[in-house]
């Protein structure tokens, strides 16, 4: 009784997910319905199919989350939903559904920025995070270094000028015939590869820039593959994968260390799907240990898209009364 209970809903890409969170840290239920197997045969997410799948799974996923948490709509304090960035048709399923349920239940609606929520995934298991925090957000659509100075207070220090890190991994994986999503596949086959086999370029941009660029690095791999093909040579897929993974992680780590030096923060948060990458975690862990910087990352299930991170971000919006109007709409290009 008297608890703040938030239903969090995520439908921005290919996961329909809902979670019930009590008082910010007590995750009562978490349901994820992934469409990965549906999209796999097309080599990537097909937006039209994604919308239809969300429409089909939305209500059952929400009901399961409520049932597992042993609550009804009457027990909820608010409903938090991702309104961007993402695929417009997918976002609309979540936004419309959340709006209808909140309106009918006479409780507030909270609009959540998906990027912010990825960072909040770190608050699900860590109860003692102290601001200021630095966040490295690496997902399929975004690569950002963010100075996080307090709840709702962000400064973007750097972002990708072209491809996101996950996008580059996905594209290289697809060319290597490894399937979708590519990041986990690259990680898997890299275990049998030599990361020194190919010297792929590291795009560092201007000396003081915290921005990223992965498009040229991706093209270097594709060019290597094409010229080998023309010479009739077959290159080792594990060697290519391991060398590319090494190059991507190298750039992410070097830029992150630059940002730590510049800001003087004592804690780094990893966020987004690529934060699940083992090499990235281990390399950062080693570098940061020497500097006395704490590294925090969510369990893999909270790194990729999920409703628990939406509910967690929603809790902090709830505390300051940051509610959305009933006119809330999907914003596919939403940024920080």
Task: State which H helix or E strand residue 296 sits in.
Answer: strand 294-296
Cβ-based neighbours of 91, under 8 Å, separated by 6 or more: 11, 12, 82, 83, 84, 330, 331, 332
- Regarding 213 and contact with Zn ion (CB under 5 A), the answer is no
Instruction: Answer yes or no whether residue 183 interacts with ligand KG4 by CB under 6 A.
Output: yes
Q: Kindly state the smallest distance separating residue 114's Cβ from Zn ion, in Å.
A: 6
Measured distance CA(134)–CA(151) in Å, rounded = 13
| 246 scored as a contact of ligand KG4 (CB under 6 A) | no
**What is the smallest separation between the CB atom of 272 and ligand KG4, expressed in angstroms?**
4
Dump the DSSP string for 42-79: TTS--HHHHHHHHHHHHHHHHHHHHHHHT--GGG-SEE
The residue from 166, 298, 307, 314 that contacts ligand KG4 (CB under 6 A) is: 166
Dist. CA 282–CA 190, nearest whole Å: 15
Residues 114-153 that bind ligand KG4 (CB under 6 A): 139-141
187 binds ligand KG4 (CB under 6 A): yes
Residue selected from 8, 97, 195, 273 as contacting ligand KG4 according to rule CB under 6 A: 273
Structural contact between residues 33 and 321, judged by C-beta atoms closer than 8 angstroms: no
* Nearer of residues 183 and 314 to ligand KG4, judged by Cβ: 183
Measured in degrees and rounded to the nearest 5, phi and psi for residue 82 equal -70, 125
Task: Decide: is 276 part of the binding site for ligand KG4 (CB under 6 A).
Answer: yes
Element at 29 (helix H, strand E):
strand 26-34
CB of 298 within 8 A of CB of 125?
yes
Rounded to whole angstroms, how far apart are CA atoms 153 and 143? 18
Candidates 30-38, 193-201, 270-278, 311-319; binding stretch for ligand KG4 (CB under 6 A): 270-278
The position carrying tokens 């608010």 is 78
Task: Kindly determine how many residues on this chain lie close enough to bind ligand KG4 according to the rule CB under 6 A.
Answer: 19
Residues 141-200 that bind Zn ion (CB under 5 A): none
Output the smallest distance, CB 15 to ligand KG4, in A: 7
Contact range with ligand KG4 by CB under 6 A, out of 26-34, 149-157, 180-188, 201-209: 180-188
Q: Which is nearer to Zn ion, 33 or 139 (CB)?
A: 139
Choose from Zn ion, ligand KG4, none: what does 84 bind? Cβ within 5-8 Å by kind.
none
DSSP one-letter string for 125-145:
T-S---SSEEEEEE-SS-EEE
CB atoms within 10 A of CB 74: 8
Phi, psi of 50 (to 5 degrees): -60, -45
Interface positions, 23-52, toward Zn ion (CB under 5 A): none
Instruction: Could you list the residues known to form a binding site, using ranges.
Output: 114, 118, 137-141, 170, 183, 277, 305
Stretch 123-142: interaction string toward Zn ion, x if CB under 5 A: ----------------x---
Which position among 169, 220, 252, 258 is part of the footprint of ligand KG4 (CB under 6 A)?
169
Q: Which residues bind ligand KG4 (CB under 6 A)?
A: 13, 139-141, 166, 169-170, 181-184, 187, 272-274, 276-277, 304-305
Q: Which residues bind Zn ion (CB under 5 A)?
A: 139, 305
């Amino acid at each position: 009784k008297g608890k703040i209970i938030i239903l969090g809903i995520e439908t921005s890409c290919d996961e329909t997910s809902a979670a019930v969170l009590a008082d910010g840290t007590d995750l009562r239920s978490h349901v994820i319905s992934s469409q990965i197997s549906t999209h796999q045969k097309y080599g990537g997410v097909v937006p039209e199919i994604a919308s239809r799948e969300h429409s089909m799974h939305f209500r059952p996923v929400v009901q399961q989350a409520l049932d597992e948490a042993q609550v009804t709509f009457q027990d909820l304090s608010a409903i938090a939903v991702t309104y961007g960035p993402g695929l417009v048709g997918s976002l609309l399923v979540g936004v419309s559904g959340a709006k209808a349920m909140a309106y009918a239940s006479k409780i507030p609606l909270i609009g959540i920025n998906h990027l912010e929520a990825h960072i909040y995934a770190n608050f699900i298991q860590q109860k003692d995070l102290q601001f200021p925090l630095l966040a490295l957000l690496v997902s399929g659509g975004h690569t950002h270094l963010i100075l996080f100075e307090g709840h709702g207070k962000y400064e973007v220090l750097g972002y990708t000028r072209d491809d996101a890190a996950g996008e580059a991994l996905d594209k290289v994986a697809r060319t290597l015939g490894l399937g979708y999503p590519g990041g986990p596949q690259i990680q898997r086959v890299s275990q049998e590869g030599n990361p020194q086999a190919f010297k792929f370029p590291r795009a560092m941009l201007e000396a003081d820039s915290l921005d990223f660029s992965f498009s040229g690095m991706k093209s270097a791999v594709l060019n290597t593959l094409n010229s080998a093909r023309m010479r009739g040579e077959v290159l080792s897929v594990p060697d290519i994968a391991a060398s590319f993974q090494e190059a991507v992680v190298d750039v992410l780590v070097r830029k992150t260390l630059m940002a730590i030096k510049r800001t003087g923060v004592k804690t780094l948060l990893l966020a987004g799907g690529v934060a699940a990458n083992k090499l990235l975690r281990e390399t950062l862990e080693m570098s940061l240990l020497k500097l006395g910087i704490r590294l925090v990352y969510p369990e893999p299930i909270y790194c990729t898209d999920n409703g628990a991170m939406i509910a967690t971000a929603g809790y902090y919006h709830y505390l300051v009364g940051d509610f959305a109007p009933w006119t809330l709409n999907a914003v596919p290009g939403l940024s920080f």
